């Protein structure tokens, strides 16, 4: 599955949860709180394959999963550019000091596993939109 397909599938899962919470009368702050890793792994196990393993994608105490993907992530399923003999598929738009370019055979992908930027409640509040796809709108590089 490419990045684009993953983003579309994830947007649907995200929207279903947000719509359920809105029907239950959750406020913006309560929705953000609901997306706390500890809560999500117990109540929304299908949201992330790591939840079943009780594993976090980022090593941080207060992991908020509202922005499961980062609005600073840029990708193209067709590749962005050649770097030597490899094809780069993704990068960090803010060049986070905690991110890196990982080389996987002939492919280069952004490795965000050490970055915590989008996973704090403060960051989510600053960039909040009920429609996750709106926050992620700039991620895909279209030709």
Question: What is the per-residue pLDDT across 102-120, written as a single tens digit (0 to 9) for each?
Answer: 999 999 999 999 999 999 9
- The model's confidence at residue 140, banded by pLDDT at 50, 70 and 90, is very high
Q: What is the DSSP letter of 36?
A: B
Q: Evaluate if residue 83 carries a pLDDT over 80.
A: yes
Q: What is the largest CA-CA distance in the chain?
A: 53
CA angle (60, 16, 44) in 5-degree steps = 45
Q: What six digits make up the tokens of 19? A: 């719509």
**Reported pTM:** 0.92
Collect all residues with Cβ–Cβ distance below 8 Å to 100 and sequence separation of at least 6: 110, 111, 114
Q: Which residues contact 16 (CB under 8 A, 6 or more apart)?
A: none
Sign of CA dihedral 53, 115, 70, 108: negative
pLDDT of residue 142: 86
Instruction: Give me the sign of the Cα torsion angle 118, 16, 57, 82.
Output: negative
């Amino acid at each position: 599955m490419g990045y684009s397909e993953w983003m579309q599938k994830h947007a649907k899962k995200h929207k279903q949860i947000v719509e359920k919470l809105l029907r239950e009368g959750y406020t913006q702050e309560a929705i953000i709180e609901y997306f706390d890793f500890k809560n999500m792994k117990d109540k929304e196990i299908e949201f992330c394959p790591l939840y079943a393993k009780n594993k976090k994608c980022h090593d941080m105490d207060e992991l908020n999963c509202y922005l499961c993907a980062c609005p600073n992530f840029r990708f193209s399923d067709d590749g962005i550019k050649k770097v030597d003999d490899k094809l780069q598929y993704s990068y960090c738009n803010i060049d986070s000091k905690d991110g890196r370019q990982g080389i996987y055979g002939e492919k280069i992908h952004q490795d965000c596993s050490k970055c915590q930027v989008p996973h704090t409640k403060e960051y989510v509040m600053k960039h909040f939109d009920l429609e996750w796809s709106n926050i992620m709108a700039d991620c895909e590089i279209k030709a």
